[in-house]
Structure 1
């Protein structure tokens, strides 16, 4: 590995305690940041709202972020508005919807989701991690596809992911959508059961991204490219060998990134064979995972309109997504580290209910 001579540029990078923050930790442990002239200062955050606020204030230079959150901030839905940028995707898949044991058992026994949740007799409380984040989108999409209105039939709460298993165990919730290891932790505690993995809702869905303020990406393009290249190398390393993921699990536990034993984290990073290949957590896939597909951004804006958070006029979506997705810096970073680039800028996806998104 070639290290760039001269002083290292420090960058403050925020993350949440989820296994898909692994690329950032790997970048520091393996020295990929230093190889690109950077020194990443990783800062664990207590909530996605804290990630947002510190990004916008400049306390963080970039962050491990929910893909949907970036578009929510850029459009100003439900909070402060600011121009945002996506440098790359960090992973596909790796989340799950969990229900309390009784509801999960009824669903598995053949009840409809409305019957399992006892709708409309009550409005069950279901949690997500940020109102415009990916977990909210997977939960809402899954509910609506089965005849449950996420805006009226349930009460949607926002909780930091580490708090969700205990809230479910106390009976404060009937279910939630969150990233690993917090679905696995609910099962370990006997508080709930996974009923569907996010990669079964949308195989190969975008999940976490490397995000920053648009001004940072525009005013310091060389730094943004170097950061993208370093994290790209980390994502490739994670997918190169199962032992690499096992090592990453130990680092996540040893460094205090996630307050759970390494064995629990390893099981999330290396899911069992029963998980379909299309639903497995992926970090690289020869760059297919990391490319910031324009069609993915359009999907989130489409969902925001579906739930009434944006007006019906979608004529500006292409321009907005093109501003958010920093394709030029991604391509330059990919060329620097030898990651293949796709021919186009969009992809076709098919969700679990047959909806085809192009």
Structure 2
């Protein structure tokens, strides 16, 4: 058991009354990923009980399965890819549109694009070499991501396009669950992948590949996983939803309180019931210590973050807007939508603000933030339709 007592919000222990959770036992979905840590800590280390909740963790084998169980109500809430939640809202990927809710951000940064050892031996170890290989090799490389509307597809597409490689024409894409990436790489079924930790580090550790780029190189402090549910759940159980956010905020703050806490969390999530991967492939990158398999090692300035004084957890409107612009860019959306209106519906700003203020987490004054991505383009959420149309490489262009 991790000693979490010092980070508890003891004065806010839940009592019966008007604010008591309407539903006290929740089924919470997660994937075998390092960035599920805040859910695991909240559920297993006593952070939910003060708020009247019991969290039953249910590990999922694929993002598609997690989505389907959210739709059916088997899961009350789940760790979700930002783009998965918005894809469900918009009815993309063959499922009916359903009103969804982003309760909070769970993490930023920490994903990676990884290529195979054979490509490394062939000297394909940088963007220019990959571009030349994609243009002149004949057979298309197969690069995997984890879900069609997910963050990993969009990080991969964005990085490729930023280096003149058309992600829809110059390479072949394949959807693979994150925990199966290393197996697929080893079997030669894919030439590379974009996924969350620890799977990129494990590929490096086992000599099967190398890390070509990190997601934080694409967008420093980018949005990644969120706590997602249906809007119907929030409307039916508003106190429960607020209590859930409070418990995970407490857990997120605890994780980053010290390096000792990070190390303890790494040991916890490496277990069979959670990530089920070697501690040696989880802990270093959780601590921000990277080595790419090419002889480079560094302390990352933008490591995987779970709290960052609340900046990670705030459900920024501009983050939700950005994912919709990329759906439009790559043809997943056939026409522009009411970007701001949809984001205001999905991002549960009022509920998050209530929860954050109750546990003493600072809330920004605005729902927008400004970021500069790898291609030099600045995103501030002010003109999503124009931003989506402004990319040279998109679903309609030929090879760049």
Q: Is the structural similarity TM-score above 0.5? A: yes
1:100 Cα deviation after fit: 1.1
Asked whether the 8 Å contact 1:103–1:117 carries over to 2, the reply is no
1:72 matches 2:87: yes
SS at the partner of 1:64? strand
Aligned partner of 1:341 among 357, 363, 367:
363
Count of matched residue positions in the alignment of Structure 1 and Structure 2: 357
| More divergent stretch after superposition (266-275 vs 225-234) | 266-275
* Cα distance change, pair 322–275 in 1 and its aligned pair in 2 (3 A): farther
> Can you give the 5+ residue segments of structure 2 that lack an aligned partner in the other structure?
1-7, 291-296, 381-400
Partners of 2:324 and 2:108 in 1: CA distance: 19
1:60 Cα deviation after fit: 0.1
SS at the partner of 1:11? strand
Partners of 2:314 and 2:275 in 1: CA distance: 27
Question: Map of 1:192-211 to 2, 5 A cutoff?
Answer: 192-211=209-228
Partners of 1:109 and 1:308 in 2: CA distance: 28
Question: Map of 1:309-328 to 2, 5 A cutoff?
Answer: 309-314=332-337, 316-328=338-350
Correspondence for 2:67: 52
Correspondence for 2:101: 85
Correspondence for 1:291: 314
Question: Map of 1:1-358 to 2, 5 A cutoff?
Answer: 1=8, 2=10, 3-5=13-15, 9-80=24-95, 81-104=97-120, 106-108=123-125, 111-117=128-134, 119=136, 121-254=138-271, 256-272=273-289, 274-275=297-298, 277-314=300-337, 316-358=338-380
Over residues 135-158 of structure 1, what are the superposed CA-to-partner deviations in whole Å (9 max), with x where a residue is unaligned? 000000111111111111111100
Asked whether the 8 Å contact 2:134–2:170 carries over to 1, the reply is no
SS at the partner of 2:212? strand
Over residues 99-136 of structure 1, what are the superposed CA-to-partner deviations in whole Å (9 max), with x where a residue is unaligned? 11243462437843222446561211110000000000
1:83 Cα deviation after fit: 1.2
Asked whether the 8 Å contact 1:202–1:351 carries over to 2, the reply is yes
Asked whether the 8 Å contact 1:27–1:231 carries over to 2, the reply is yes
> Can you give the 5+ residue segments of structure 1 that lack an aligned partner in the other structure?
none
Partners of 1:290 and 1:138 in 2: CA distance: 20
| More divergent stretch after superposition (146-155 vs 11-20) | 146-155
Partners of 2:93 and 2:232 in 1: CA distance: 22
Partners of 2:189 and 2:357 in 1: CA distance: 49
Over residues 236-278 of structure 1, what are the superposed CA-to-partner deviations in whole Å (9 max), with x where a residue is unaligned? 1111111111111111123520121333321231121754544
Partners of 1:217 and 1:247 in 2: CA distance: 32
1:330 Cα deviation after fit: 0.3
Over aligned residues, Cα RMSD in angstroms? Answer: 1.7
